[in-house]
Structure 1
Amino acid sequence: MKIGVNGASGQLGTATVKQLLERATSHSVVAISRSPEKIEINGVEARFGDYDQPSSLVEAYKGLDRLLLIPSTNLQPGVRAAQNIAAIDAAVAAGVSHIVLMSSAGARNVQKPNIGADYFASEQHLMCKARQWSILRMSYYAEALIAEAQMSLAHGVLTGLTENKVSFVLRDDLAAAAVGLLVGEGHDGAIYTGTGPESLTGAERAGAIAKASGKPLTFVTLPAETLHAQLQQVGLPAEVITAVVSIQQNFSNGDFDIVTGDIEKLSGRPARNLESILSIAFQ
């Protein structure tokens, strides 16, 4: 079987390709990226494929039995949906038998600029067009929380719009689940959600960060308007500000307050908890 990973030069894509090589030794692995020269992994075939150049994707997907689509990091509202839809159409045209889409927890029919709108549109198109399909929705990256924590520790405050709960998941665990889905059987039409083993409140994650770092940190809620203004003051681009506020709103809606056993079901190993992830990050 020939398995392709689109978005292979990104962090999740690289982790997935490496684990495919370790676990799927009887299969061929094709790493697809707009920067194939950055793919320096022995044992894989690197191909050029750019989500913004749909004509390049049909060629990139030729001969693949299964394909993982990892959405780009473009934060402009509507762009990721358009990219994913073009990629799905290209994969169908190329004759890919089974398409797997990385999506987000809480994906539903919401209005742009909420980031969930792009994921929902992508999922719906996949279901309508693909011969066989699977979806792996992800909870919020633990690595993203760590990056936020490192900035927040300087001020001693971690912020949110409300007291909320999130099941943070390690990128490497998501990659392992994606590999299990790609090489396994019986996943046609399935929607999985990759989460950590626990859902933590803002106060609980602030406490875990404080314990791991040895520095005080308190969780504080603030209005969306205040968060927006603070992000403007530090000079972040408008699309980044919109995405951050949107994510915090989705936290408040409970979109990431979900715990499943899907990581273990697909990968064969349990998802790591936030405490163990933080202990390594702050060693």
Structure 2
Amino acid sequence: MAVCASSEPVERYRATPSAAFRPGEYCGDLSPMKIAVTAASGRLGHATLRWLSGGIGASDVVAVARQPERVLIPGIEARAGDYHSLDSMRVALRGIDTAIMISAPVAGGSERITLHRNAIEAARQAGVRRVLFTSIIGNGGEMATLFAATQRVNRQTEADLQASGLQWVIGRNALYLELDLLQMRKARETGVYRNPAGTGRCPYLTIDEIAFAYARLAADKSQTGQIYNITGEALTQAELLREAGVVFGLDVRYETQSDDASIARFRELMPERGEAVAHMLTGCFQSIRAGAFDVPSHFQAAAGRPARSVRELMQDVAVAEAALSPGTTP
């Protein structure tokens, strides 16, 4: 899911472009500028950096991360910057025209609001003109679920950015296909995939597909003052499993799980993440069940092309895995 951090190696999710990012084919203001990606050492950051590097050139792209040595993109300048330190972020963002502000990892408490405010204020003080924020989809129905605490942080950050005096763009991301696909494939062991989503519909995109949209938005100066749902095809869990069966040969059925059982499962799977994350992840599935994530897609307006279908995206994942592990099957 889009809101769930992972300890899996970044290299496993290296961007595998699904369509060329050629500035000359895009109708917008693509005049030269310096673009930074903050919190750049994770998977969305790396994928966005790769699209930008291929599209506008590595020399015009800057990665900002707490541990800049973890940025693995050749030719891109990596600067140290930590959302906990306004000063470090201000220094890291000097000379930047547009910043893609990737949201801080989910944790307990309201610290993420402060971290995001630090990043916004640092951008303002550093003279950044435009900030893009990576938020999460939702039509408001999620506020009656266990996902509400996380979503309140996202919506507060959106409001803070809009009130900052900076030019802004807000992207509300679909859920990450790779993360749910991983759990579906693990369900081969039992033949049953369970969660509380029921028959609710939800859009999924790969990290690379979401990154493509942010790279295109960032590269076009005319994109400002808009909120985009960075989403594509919306499926039920059973439909998602059927697509996985076609692409990966899964023979797994879907069963609805109780909320309490879901919380217990996440506690067992990720004890190091704590109670708040177990509740948040269960809240994601509650939100799907409630129809809160079944929102209109603005992907084409953001990215200049339609989103790829879930089957195509699964095929992208299979191709990427085969390239990383020749001779293996998904």
The residue identity in structure 2 corresponding to 1:46 is A
1:216: which partner in 2?
Answer: 251
What SS does structure 1 have at the residue aligned with 2:227?
Answer: strand
- Could you report, residue by residue, the CA deviation over 1:145-199 in whole angstroms, capped at 9, with x for unpaired residues? 1122122222222223232111111111111111111111332210111112x21
1:245: which partner in 2?
Answer: 282
- How does 1:59-78 map onto structure 2 within 5 Å? 59-78=91-110
8 Å Cα contact 1:75-1:240 kept in structure 2 = yes
- How does 1:73-88 map onto structure 2 within 5 Å? 73-88=105-120
1:54: which partner in 2?
Answer: 86
Q: What is the alpha-carbon distance in structure 2 between the residues aligned to residue 34 and residue 26 of structure 1?
A: 20
- How does 1:1-283 map onto structure 2 within 5 Å? 1-25=33-57, 28-106=60-138, 110=143, 114-161=149-196, 162-196=198-232, 198-234=233-269, 236=271, 237-260=274-297, 262-281=298-317, 283=330
Q: What is the alpha-carbon distance in structure 2 between the residues aligned to residue 229 and residue 55 of structure 1?
A: 40
Q: What is the alpha-carbon distance in structure 2 between the residues aligned to residue 42 and residue 235 of structure 1?
A: 33
After TM superposition, give the deviation of residue 239 of structure 1 in Å: 2.9
- Which one is further off, 106-115 or 87-96? 106-115
Q: What is the alpha-carbon distance in structure 2 between the residues aligned to residue 126 and residue 252 of structure 1?
A: 30
Q: What is the alpha-carbon distance in structure 2 between the residues aligned to residue 80 and residue 137 of structure 1?
A: 17
After TM superposition, give the deviation of residue 22 of structure 1 in Å: 1.1
- Could you report, residue by residue, the CA deviation over 1:211-262 in whole angstroms, capped at 9, with x for unpaired residues? 33323211111221222233334563323312211211221222321242x3
Q: TM-score, length-normalised on structure 2? A: 0.79
Q: What 5-or-longer segments of structure 2 have no aligned partner?
A: 1-32, 319-329
What SS does structure 2 have at the residue aligned with 1:271?
Answer: coil
The residue identity in structure 2 corresponding to 1:80 is R
- Which one is further off, 139-148 or 103-112? 103-112
After TM superposition, give the deviation of residue 132 of structure 1 in Å: 0.8
Q: TM-score, length-normalised on structure 1? A: 0.91
8 Å Cα contact 2:205-2:313 kept in structure 1 = no
Identity %: 28
Q: What 5-or-longer segments of structure 1 have no aligned partner?
A: none
What SS does structure 2 have at the residue aligned with 1:188?
Answer: coil
After TM superposition, give the deviation of residue 280 of structure 1 in Å: 4.7
2:27: which partner in 1?
Answer: none
The residue identity in structure 2 corresponding to 1:96 is V
What SS does structure 2 have at the residue aligned with 1:254?
Answer: coil
After TM superposition, give the deviation of residue 59 of structure 1 in Å: 0.8
